[in-house]
Every structure is written in structure tokens, then in C-alpha cells.
Structure 1
Amino acid sequence: MIMLSLTKLVVTPLVKKMPSASRNKLILISSVRSMSKMPEEQKINVKGVDINYLKVGSGSHPVLLLPGTLGSIWTDFKPQVTNMDREKFTLIAWDPPGYGKSRPPNRTFPLDFFARDAGIAYELMKVIGYDKFSLIGWSGGGITSIFMAANNPESIDKMVILGTNSYLVPEELAIYKSVRNIDSWSERMRAPMIDTYGEGYFRSTWAAWVDGMAAIFEKNDGNICKDLLPKVKCPTLIMHGAKDVMLWKDHPTYLEKNIKDSKLYIFPEGGHNLHLRFWEEFNRVSTEFLINGKI
């Protein structure tokens, strides 16, 4: 955006006629002003953890964006942060403990790590001044959203979840274990995570997540949050990509059946990251649901 605005500035006839010193000064002022408009991340202590978060927009409807496994504000929600209507929404995106810039501490995955994240996310919203808000949660962030909505029904207005499951089946666990070693990943998939975390932290944390999910499968009989679904009271939109190879095919219909006030929206060509590939449709449908309760 800065490069675009500077390009427009340079090519205008008025600017071309300026002395070079004046022209350079104007370009610098424009650059500083453009940079000042860019959203800034902040850190705030929540339950003893310095949480990194971003707040953009001035709308009357606050929405918390919850990323997936090893996800962060910019890796998981850039098209939403930069393109959803900031007059309708105030968007808050966060890095969960051990993810993104919310480090230290290093990330751990005990049996209750989804509930732990939900508690910290809820406190984050309270600390920064929101008692009532909506949720958009992707993948593991969708599971965290379910915990939040079930445990704090008075605080959650609406919820959008995508790429989300409430239980594990053996086929899913087999997929996780097959990619536990990041050497099996393509360079295209591995590179951005290594850029974010460094190879050592990414390698060990991803392996720990796989082991954590395996522990849930073995010790909880695969139940992540099935018992919480009937406790979700807020209107819920379940989004699913028909070509999502990370999730068992029955998950979206199971969620719709067991969350009372829910709607299901399918992206026929969508995969697990449908909100990134098809962000315009995702943003449009999410906005209509969050504002008007319709799809």
C-alpha cells in the first residue's frame, strides 16, 4: 500500500515539477503517514503470559480471530484483518501462548490445552474491554472457540468456525503421524513456518502437537469437545471445504446436528484453508452472518 501511494505521488505532474529536495521530503512525509495508518500489534499480560494481539477497526461489533495450530495473526488471518469492514467490526486477532509473538513461554500440549487457550482468550477480551463479542475460529482455533462459547454463553454473540472437529477418528490421527516429521513436508509448506519460528522450535513444537492429539485420542477416546456442543447457545456458522483432506467428512454435519442454533455453509472447491484461498467469499458470508444472522 505504501509503494502504491508513493507511485501515485511520484507520477503526478505537480510532484514532477518540484525541486528534488522538496519532492523527496514530500515522499518521506507520505511514507510516514502511510506507515502510521498500518495496524500495530501490542502485548498485554493475561494470566501471567504476555499475549501479542492486534486490534483494527472502529465498528460496534467486536470479533476475536482465533488461529489454528502454530498459527498467528498474519499467517492465518491476513485477508480478514486487511479486508473485513472496519466500520462494521472491531477485529481483534491474537497469537495464542507459545505461537507467533506470544513467546515466551514455549508451547505445550497437555490434555486440556484447548480449554487453557479458551480461558486465556476470554480473559484477553475482558482485559482489553469487551464483555460481549463474536468469534471466528479456524481449525484448532475453531475448537478453542467452541470451548469459549460453551463455557461463557453470556459473552459470545455469534460464532463462525471452519475446518473444525469435535472428535478424532483413527484416519485423522494416522494423517497427523504421517507428517509429524517436518522433513516430509514440501518446501512451500515448511518455509513460512520456519521463517516464523526457526527450524528447531517449529520442528519440536509441531511434533509435540501431534503427540498431544495422540494423547487426546488415546486417553479421551478421541473426544475433544463433543460434550460441549449442546452447551453452545450462540448462533453458529459452520464453514467447511469439501476438499479438506485434514478432516473426516462427517465433522461438519456432526457439528450442525449437535449445535442447536447452527448453519452449515460448504465451499465446493475449498480445502482446509478455505478462508485464505476464497477470502472474498468467506468475508462476505461471515459478515452477513455476523451482522444479520443470515447466509
Structure 2
Amino acid sequence: MAVTRLARLGVLRADSARCLCGQASRHLITNSTSSFSSSANGNGSIQSEKKEVNGVQLHYEKTGSGDHAVFLLPGALGCSRTDFGPQLEKLNKEKFTVFCWDPRGYGKSRPPDRDWPLDFYGRDAEDATALIKALGLSQVSLLGWSDGGNTALIMAGRYPELCRKLVVWGSNTYVCDKDIEFTEAIRDINKWSDGMKKPFIDVYGEAYFCEQWGRWVDAFHRIKHKNNGNVCRDQLPKIVCPTLIIHGQLDPIVVQEHPDYIHANIRHSRLVNWPKAKHNLHLRYADDFNKTVEDFLLDP
């Protein structure tokens, strides 16, 4: 869904949120202060770089040396260091080269501060596509979580020649009344626990995060009221690459109708429901998730 790590936030489902927050916070990637750095880990190195794309210095991280390029897309106000630790660390570095970006105004892709046009998902898709091309990659597999899944769906529809395979989870192609109700309920971060706010505040500082979170909620609501709720429904029939949709059936954020709709409208797609998983299934069940994704990506 458009909401990224909202299962941390505990306004509607405090028990689930506490569990998710604790799990996710254990997988933060160490932040670096330079435009390029390399941090050693048991499986290789994670390099941090920036590239100027569409007038913005976009930050990304890279690891592995495999022939199969994989591009990770984080969720709302997410970035590589908060959203994809287990994937950057543990996806097979001999078979894959893994990239993860920070969208403009997120993470270390600042300045500029984030702004929120009506088509902000589309703009992120154009930025990510331009970054991939600037990196010299002719084809990649896209892995998108939550908001990042929305962006990945747009990319796969607009640029089918770029997308080798597609994996999305926690995403939505339209905004329904339940989505509006939930996002309004978690607008005020002062109602969150300190532990729930910490991963965001560590990246952004409290003032920036508070301001941007409220703007994200407003932007999400505008899609419902000014764009007939459409995020990217029109792109689904254009997607031709093999697509895997994963859904945690205990997800307190994304109702089942969203993955069902994506599956029904993308040819060559497969929907896998995980009965015990929630919104952050790639963090909570990282090893199972990574194996599922690797098997899908390597299947000829």
C-alpha cells in the first residue's frame, strides 16, 4: 500500500506495530557521511554513492557483483538504510548486483526537501528510471515495498523493456475509503511512541519528519479526491514481465483487495499469500523472503 512502515505506528494496531518496529530497527544500514563509502560485512561490501539525475543528487547503495541487476524501491519516507537491510546484506552477491535508492527528498537524497505534486509516484518512477539508465543498466528486476511497489508498477508499465522481473508487496494501485481512514488516524506523530518514531527521526530529525509525514498524508488524500483514487491502475495491463505479488494476510495496513486487484490485472503474475505475515514481511521473515525472491528471479 502507499503506507510504508505504518505497522510500526500503533495507532490502529499497537500490538502489531510494536512487533514490526522492533524487527525493522534491527536491520538499519550504517549511515555514511561521504558521497562514497564501503562498509564491510560477512557477504561483501555495501557502497554508497550519489548521481545527479533530473537535477537532483540521488543517493543509492550498491552491493554484489552478479550479472542480474536488482533495484530496490523503499516506501513512504523510507530509504536504503531503513527499509532493506536484510536484502542488501543477504541477497546472493555472486548472482545479483543489488541497488537501492533514496527517492528525492528522502534519506540522503537531500537537498531538495521533498515536495508532493499530485503525480509524485510518477515523478519517482521517472527519477528511478533515469537513475537506472545513468548507472548504465539496460535491464533490471524491480523489488518494491509499499510506496516503492507503487513506483515499481508504474515503471514496469511505462518502460517494459527496462523491467526484467517485478516483485511487489504492501502496495496499492488505487486509494479506497479504508486507506483514507487509516492514514488520517496516524497523521499526528505526537500520538506515536518514542520507539515508533525513532527510525524516522534518526534519519530526518523530528521537525522535518513531522512536516513531511503530514504532507505525505495530504498528498495521499489528494489522489483520492482529485484523481479519482487512481495511483497506477492504468499501468497494470501494460506490464508484460513476470511478476510476483507477495501479501502478508495479517497486514493491518493493506486489505486483501489490493494484491488481488494487482494479480487480476497483470498478465504473467503470481500471487503468494503468507498467512502469518504482516506489512514488513521482508524484514520479519527476511530469510524466507530472500529465498522466495531469489528463486523467482533466477527461474528462467
State the TM bucket, normalised to the shorter chain: 0.7 to 0.9
Corresponding residue for residue 13 of structure 2: none
Tell me how far 1:131 sits from its aligned partner.
1.0
Q: Distance in 1 between matches of 2:183 and 2:215?
A: 11
Would you say 1:116 and 2:114 are equivalent positions? no
Corresponding residue number in structure 1 for 2:274: 267
The amino acid across from 1:75 in the alignment is T
CA contact (8 A) 2:45 2:64 kept: no
| Structure number with larger C-alpha Rg | 1
Q: Which has the higher contact order (CA 8 A, sep 6+)?
A: 2
| 1:65 corresponds to 2:72 | yes
Structure 2: how far apart are the matches of 1:80 and 1:133? 16
How many Å separate the matches in 2 of 1:34 and 1:111? 40
- Checking the alignment, whether the CA contact within 8 Å between 1:169 and 1:248 is kept in structure 2 is no
**Aligned position for 1:4:** none
| 2:46–2:88 CA contact under 8 A, matched in 1 | no
Is residue 176 from structure 1 mapped to residue 183 from structure 2 by the alignment? Answer: yes
Please name the residue that 2:289 is paired with.
Answer: 282
Alpha-carbon separation, structure 1, partners of 2:285 and 2:197: 22
**C-alpha deviations, 1:52-82, integer Å up to 9, x for none?**
0111111000010000000010210000000
SS in 2 for 1:39: strand
CA distance in 1, matches of 2:126, 2:195: 34
**Alpha-carbon separation, structure 2, partners of 1:70 and 1:181:** 15
Q: Which residue of 2 aligns with 1:252?
A: 259
What is the aligned partner in structure 2 of residue 151 from structure 1? 158
CA contact (8 A) 1:59 1:87 kept: yes
Give the corresponding residue for 1:242.
249
- How far apart, in 2, do the equivalents of 1:33 and 1:200 lie? 29
Secondary structure (helix, strand or coil) at the match of 2:46 reads: coil
Instruction: Provide the C-alpha distance between the structure 2 equivalents of 1:202 and 1:281, rounded to a whole number of angstroms.
Output: 32
1:208-247 equivalences in 2 (<5 Å): 208-247=215-254
Q: SS of the residue aligned with 1:144?
A: helix
In the alignment, structure 1 segments of 5+ residues that lack a partner are 1-31
- 2:272 alignment partner, SS class: strand
**Normalized per residue, which structure has more helix?**
1
Instruction: Give, as a single letter, the amino acid of the residue that structure 2 aligns with 1:278.
Output: Y
TM-aligned CA deviation for residue 249 of structure 1:
2.1
Q: Please give the TM-score of this superposition, normalised by the length of structure 1.
A: 0.86
Q: CA deviation at 1:40?
A: 2.3
Q: What is the rounded CA distance, in whole Å, between the counterparts of 1:34 and 1:235 in structure 2? A: 33
Give the root-mean-square deviation of aligned CA atoms.
Answer: 1.6
Give, in whole Å, the separation in 2 of the partners of 1:259 and 1:187.
40
Residue 201 of structure 2: aligned partner: 194
